[in-house]
């Protein structure tokens, strides 16, 4: 029996969980503030590079990842304060352009500090594949999947069960109503971007060992995250996780049956297709948000 | 549609003098004071980026749609014109027309997104289209030469007239820029232009006033794309060689930055910013390794301190100056 296709699906599910992480961070900050963070992918890259830096100053790997995530999260929050917040009153287009500037700045910062040559960071758990029921799997894949699930479920709990999360959801739906209810959007904006930074950085540390660290690694991962979030409907974190998996499985199947040249292009194609045909996403109910003029 | 187009034409015919005078002065200055071929090359680049940026100004400044696909549309125009001239030996004017049409089709595809979705998502569509096109340019080696690009584009000849000297090329670019500027000003002053502007500033209010915001957004996207296509075709004649790097995301950001610094919605500001930024990006930013970092941080700082760009600064100065004059008169 031909197991190539099921194998591609299985590996895709594992890889997609990381895209999902990026997508969740992106969609939380987008829903709360209305700003599309173009620098999302560069936050992923920053997370991977700061993990590398943490290791090089002698931190153990798990600590290095946590430190990297905290730095990226705090940094993104500070950027929101300094470079995005003054622009909200002119309309979100200005803030989005500011994140484009951030993207360029982060990418060239990485290039200046660490150089253009690809760097390597180790895995948290062994990456050797073993065979189970005819499928090839590695502990690293399972670990990535589990960690992504745990973090995303944590986000779900945060959004659904805590006062802060409910505040974010209210701000996402109606900012004026939120202010009337005594919610202060400004604190939530900071937090939303900080959370996006943390999730992106963790995703970077997880995906770094698979593809190596390069200054330009961010953009394709960022677009994968956007695609995951858009497929998921930009509503629930679980939607983004599922969206990431759909994307990664589609990519693996395309490499298997079509051509490897256009693996990245598939994400672009899916992104445009979903936005044109089904802006509310495959799973989402946030159609109103997408179609809003 | 025809009625509004006629109205635009009438607005143009009312005051073509300022543009003609500007064109004459610019050509004279360039002819008198710019001598070296490297400086003339810089002038060509300034005019072509200004043209592409005027197009983006229609899309972003007027319609409020944030696009990073302008360099990709320019690439499509350049590659289309270049390949038609090399492989089919078509004359430049025909190649230019086809390039313009191809750019219009790509922009129309991007513009379709503007019909369907929130304007905020527009940037995601343009980002995806831009990256997909650059992948195509790199992977379809048989047609585009991959990373090596296409060389041997025949020098510019229009109607038997050899225009391939640096000065002639600069003049052609400047003339094209002023035609584009003139049309952009006319559009801004026309009924459709006001509609596009209203749709960009407050879509709900515009729709409530009976403006078909979606259709105008689509139109703005196509019009702005044609500017980029024409700029791309002339760019092919300026360099006689095209590679994927000529139209990278960095170039898209340069065009975006020109519009932001010029002051969104201001055509004159856009042209002024193009002159300044092309000069900077070809000199200062290319030479230093910290260039891109300055560039990225620069976008953020400028947005925060002067969100309305040169146009906003000029307005503030004019207001301050006016107040001083008033005080004088009062005394």
- Across the interface, of B112, B120, B128, the residue whose CB is closest to A223 is B128
Q: Do A112 and B297 touch (CB under 8 A)?
A: no
Q: Do A290 and B132 touch (CB under 8 A)?
A: no
| The pair of three-digit structure tokens given for residue A70, joined into one six-digit string | 């905290």
* R_g over Cα of chain B: 20
CB pairs under 8 A between A and B: 140
- Across the interface, of A82, A219, A268, the residue whose CB is closest to B132 is A268
Q: Percent of chain B scored above 70 by pLDDT? A: 91
Chain B (91-120) residues lying within 8 Å, Cβ to Cβ, of chain A: 112-113, 116-120
**Rounded distance between C-alpha atoms, residue A209 and residue A48, angstroms:** 9
pTM: 0.84
**H or E segment and range at residue A130:** strand A129-132
- Higher pLDDT: B224 or B249? It is B224
Mean predicted lDDT score pLDDT of chain A: 84
| The pair of three-digit structure tokens given for residue B101, joined into one six-digit string | 């049409």
Q: Which domains does chain A have, with CATH numbers?
A: 4-291 (1.10.3470)
**Rounded distance between C-alpha atoms, residue B171 and residue B183, angstroms:** 18
Predicted local confidence at residue A61, as pLDDT:
87
**pLDDT confidence of B8, banded at 50, 70, 90?**
low
**pLDDT confidence of A240, banded at 50, 70, 90?**
confident
Contact A232, A284 (CB under 8 A): yes
Q: Does B259 touch chain A (CB under 8 A)?
A: no
Burial of B268 (0-12, 13-18, 19+ CB in 10 A): middle
Closest Cα in chain A, distance from residue B305 (Å): 9
Range from A19-23, A72-76, A153-157, B16-20 carrying the lowest mean pLDDT: B16-20
Q: Do A104 and B207 touch (CB under 8 A)?
A: no
**Rounded distance between C-alpha atoms, residue A199 and residue A221, angstroms:** 13
Q: Which of A81-90, A162-171, B7-16 has the highest mean pLDDT?
A: A81-90
DSSP state letters, B153-216? PPPPEETTEE--SHHHHHHHHHHHHHHHHHHHHHHHHSHHHHHHHHHHH-HHHHHHTT--HHHH
Closest Cα in chain A, distance from residue B303 (Å): 7
Residues whose CB falls within 8 Å of the CB of residue B328, separated by 6 or more in sequence, listed in order? none
Selected for mutation to probe chain A from B108, B118, B206 (highest A CB count within 10 Å) is B118
Count Cα atoms within 13 angstroms, Cβ side, for A222: 26
- Higher pLDDT: A56 or B149? It is A56
**Rounded distance between C-alpha atoms, residue B112 and residue A121, angstroms:** 43
Contact A169, A118 (CB under 8 A): no
Predicted local confidence at residue B123, as pLDDT:
86
| Residues, chain B | 331
Q: Do A219 and B124 touch (CB under 8 A)?
A: no
Compute CA A88 distance to the chain's CA centroid, rounded to the nearest angstrom: 23
Predicted local confidence at residue A195, as pLDDT:
92
- Across the interface, of B60, B204, B295, the residue whose CB is closest to A293 is B204
Q: With beta carbons under 8 A apart, name residues in chain A contacting B290.
A: 108, 112
Tokens 């071929």 label which residue? B37
Q: Does B155 touch chain A (CB under 8 A)?
A: no
Predicted local confidence at residue A236, as pLDDT:
74
Closest Cα in chain B, distance from residue A31 (Å): 12
Q: Does B143 touch chain A (CB under 8 A)?
A: no
**Rounded distance between C-alpha atoms, residue A261 and residue A161, angstroms:** 44
| The pair of three-digit structure tokens given for residue B87, joined into one six-digit string | 């492989």
Q: Do B124 and A230 touch (CB under 8 A)?
A: yes
Q: Which long-range contacts (CB under 8 A, 24 or more apart) does B204-211 make?
A: B204/A293, B207/A293
Residues whose CB falls within 8 Å of the CB of residue B270, separated by 6 or more in sequence, listed in order? B50, B53, B54, B57, B61, B258, B259, B262, B263
Predicted local confidence at residue B11, as pLDDT:
55
Q: What is the ipTM of this complex?
A: 0.81
Compute CA A190 distance to the chain's CA centroid, rounded to the nearest angstrom: 17
What pLDDT digit, counting tens, does each position of A117-132 carry? 888 888 777 767 777 7
- Across the interface, of A96, A104, A265, the residue whose CB is closest to B132 is A265
Q: Do B124 and A275 touch (CB under 8 A)?
A: yes
- Across the interface, of A101, A268, A289, the residue whose CB is closest to B299 is A101
| The pair of three-digit structure tokens given for residue B46, joined into one six-digit string | 């300034």
Label each residue of B77-122 as H, E or C: HHHHHHHHHHHCCCCHHHHHHHHHHHHHHHHHHHHHHHHHCCHHHH
Chain B (301-330) residues lying within 8 Å, Cβ to Cβ, of chain A: 303-304, 307
Q: Percent of chain A scored above 70 by pLDDT? A: 93
Closest Cα in chain A, distance from residue B327 (Å): 32
Predicted local confidence at residue A254, as pLDDT:
83
Residues whose CB falls within 8 Å of the CB of residue B141, separated by 6 or more in sequence, listed in order? none
**pLDDT confidence of B54, banded at 50, 70, 90?**
very high
Per-domain residue ranges of chain B: 2-330
What pLDDT digit, counting tens, does each position of A267-293 carry? 888 888 888 777 776 665 544 444 444
Q: With beta carbons under 8 A apart, name residues in chain A contacting B211.
A: none
Q: Do B289 and A112 touch (CB under 8 A)?
A: yes
């Amino acid at each position: 029996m031909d197991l190539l296709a099921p194998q591609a699906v299985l590996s895709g599910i594992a890889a997609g969980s990381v895209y999902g992480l990026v997508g969740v961070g992106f969609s939380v900050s987008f829903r709360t503030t209305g700003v599309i963070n173009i620098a999302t992918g560069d936050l992923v890259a920053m997370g991977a590079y700061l993990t590398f830096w943490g290791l090089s100053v002698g931190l153990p790997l798990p600590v290095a990842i946590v430190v990297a995530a905290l730095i990226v999260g705090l940094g993104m929050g500070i950027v929101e304060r300094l470079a995005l917040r003054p622009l909200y009153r002119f309309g979100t287009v200005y803030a989005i352009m500011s994140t484009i500037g951030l993207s360029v700045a982060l990418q060239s910062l990485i290039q200046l500090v660490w150089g253009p040559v690809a760097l390597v960071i180790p895995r948290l758990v062994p990456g050797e594949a073993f065979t189970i029921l005819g499928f090839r799997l590695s502990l690293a894949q399972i670990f990535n999947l589990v960690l992504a699930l745990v973090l995303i479920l944590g986000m779900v709990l945060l959004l659904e069960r805590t006062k802060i999360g409910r505040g974010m959801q209210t701000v996402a739906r109606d900012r004026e109503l939120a202010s009337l209810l005594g919610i202060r959007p400004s604190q939530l904006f900071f937090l939303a971007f900080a959370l996006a930074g943390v999730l992106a950085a963790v995703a970077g540390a997880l995906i770094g060992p698979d593809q190596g660290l390069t200054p330009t690694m961010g953009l394709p991962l960022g677009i994968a995250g956007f695609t995951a979030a858009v497929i998921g409907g930009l509503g629930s974190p679980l939607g983004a996780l599922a969206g990431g998996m759909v994307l990664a499985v589609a990519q693996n199947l395309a490499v298997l049956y079509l051509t490897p040249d256009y693996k990245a292009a598939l994400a672009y194609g899916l992104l445009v297709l979903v936005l044109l045909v089904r802006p509310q996403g495959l799973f989402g109910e946030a159609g109103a948000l997408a179609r809003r003029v | 549609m025809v009625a509004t187009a006629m109205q635009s034409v009438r607005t143009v015919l009312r005051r073509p003098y300022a543009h003609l005078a500007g064109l004459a002065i610019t050509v004279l200055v360039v002819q008198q004071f710019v001598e070296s071929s490297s400086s003339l090359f810089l002038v060509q680049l300034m005019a072509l980026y200004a043209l592409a940026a005027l197009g983006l100004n229609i899309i972003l400044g007027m319609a409020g749609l944030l696009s990073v696909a302008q360099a990709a549309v320019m690439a499509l125009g350049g590659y289309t014109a270049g390949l038609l001239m090399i492989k089919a030996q078509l004359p430049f004017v025909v190649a230019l027309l086809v390039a313009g049409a191809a750019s219009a089709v790509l922009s129309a595809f991007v513009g379709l997104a503007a019909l369907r979705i929130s304007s905020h998502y527009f940037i995601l569509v343009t980002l995806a289209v831009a990256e997909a096109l650059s992948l195509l340019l790199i992977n379809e080696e048989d047609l585009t030469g991959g990373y090596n690009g296409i060389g041997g584009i025949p020098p510019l000849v229009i109607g038997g007239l050899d225009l391939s000297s640096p000065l002639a090329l600069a003049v052609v670019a400047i003339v094209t820029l002023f035609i584009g500027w003139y049309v952009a000003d006319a559009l801004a002053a026309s009924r459709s232009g006001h509609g596009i502007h209203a749709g960009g500033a407050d879509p709900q209010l515009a729709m409530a006033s009976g403006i078909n915001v979606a259709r105008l957004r689509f139109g703005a996207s196509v019009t702005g794309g044609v500017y980029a296509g024409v700029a791309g075709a002339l760019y092919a004649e300026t360099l006689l060689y095209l590679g994927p790097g000529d139209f990278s995301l960095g170039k898209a950001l340069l065009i975006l930055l020109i519009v932001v610094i010029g002051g969104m919605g201001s055509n004159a500001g856009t042209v002024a910013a193009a002159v300044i930024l092309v000069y900077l990006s070809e000199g200062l930013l290319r030479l230093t390794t910290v260039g891109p970092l300055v560039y990225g941080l620069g976008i953020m700082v400028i947005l925060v301190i002067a969100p309305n760009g040169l146009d906003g600064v000029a307005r503030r100065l004019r207001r301050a100056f006016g107040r001083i004059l008033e005080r004088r008169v009062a005394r």
